[in-house]
């Protein structure tokens, strides 16, 4: 009985050591991955990675991770022009294959959500235009146009839709003309716009968009989603 107790204690200690080593290894891997994640053609501000599942070491040995949660802050294309910056994106990556000597990763499936702040949406709009939450799933767009040499400021409630899974379209529901010829056309030239969302990881696409108080919330899905490292 005494020998059995010793073996049980030894096994408990070994199991605790294995768990401790496994957790240390996953923490190191997460930290290194956060510093190395890249999205081709885009720059990012910061990345937070959490590897799920246990044990991590056996997953690593098989070069495949069950689930990886990723939060990326500030995604935008390196190219110039008015592309939309993704303020934050959270994604759950399932069945992640490690490639190229652990320098890259490909997820079989991905689901998540992205947020575009109204500050970033305003920067992507026309000059002199401000975009903010308008309530009831609308955005409020305010711009100033010149009519007969006089500046006229107009605010409109606009509907936001997605085109081709990568482009955000902002279109005013109604523009008050007030009997001034050509005013609606001038206002729409300021307030209506389409902008491509830059910097999405390869394989990821936008599915549904909804204006909220915190910004444009967009659901994202994808297959064979690639992150370089």
CB 85 within 8 A of CB 77: no
Lowest mean pLDDT among 122-126, 163-167, 180-184: 180-184
DSSP three-state, residue 28: helix
Dihedral over alpha carbons 160, 128, 184, 152 (to 10 degrees) = 140
Which distant-in-sequence residues (6+ apart) come within 8 Å of 66 by Cβ?
52, 53, 59, 94, 95, 96
Give the integer Cα–Cα distance in Å for 59 and 67. 10
pLDDT per residue over 56-104, tens digit each?
Answer: 777 777 778 888 888 988 888 765 567 788 899 899 989 888 877 666 7
Percentages helix, strand, coil for the chain (3-state, rounded to 5) are 25, 50, 25
How confident is the model at residue 158, as a pLDDT? 95
Backbone angles phi, psi at 21, to 5 degrees: -65, -40
How confident is the model at residue 25, as a pLDDT? 63
């Amino acid at each position: 009985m005494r020998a059995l107790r010793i073996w049980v204690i030894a096994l408990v200690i070994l199991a605790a050591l294995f768990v401790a080593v496994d957790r240390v290894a996953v923490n190191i891997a997460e930290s290194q991955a956060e510093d190395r994640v890249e999205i081709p053609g885009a720059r990012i501000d910061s990345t937070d990675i959490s590897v799920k599942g246990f044990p991590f070491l056996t997953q690593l040995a098989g070069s495949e991770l069950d689930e990886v949660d990723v939060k990326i802050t500030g995604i935008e294309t390196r190219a110039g022009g008015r592309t939309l910056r993704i303020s934050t994106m959270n994604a759950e990556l399932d069945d992640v294959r490690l490639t190229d000597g652990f320098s890259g990763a490909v997820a079989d499936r991905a689901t998540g959500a992205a947020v575009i702040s109204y500050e970033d949406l305003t920067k992507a709009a026309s000059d002199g235009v401000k975009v903010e939450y308008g309530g009831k799933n609308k955005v409020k767009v305010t711009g100033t146009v010149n009519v007969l040499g006089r500046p006229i400021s107009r605010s409109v409630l606009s509907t936001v839709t997605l085109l081709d899974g990568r482009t955000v379209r902002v279109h005013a529901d109604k523009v008050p003309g007030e009997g001034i010829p050509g005013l609606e056309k001038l206002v729409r030239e300021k307030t209506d716009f389409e902008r491509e969302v830059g910097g999405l990881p390869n394989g990821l696409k936008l599915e549904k968009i909804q204006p909220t108080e915190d910004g444009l919330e967009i659901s994202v899905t994808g297959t064979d989603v690639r992150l370089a490292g």
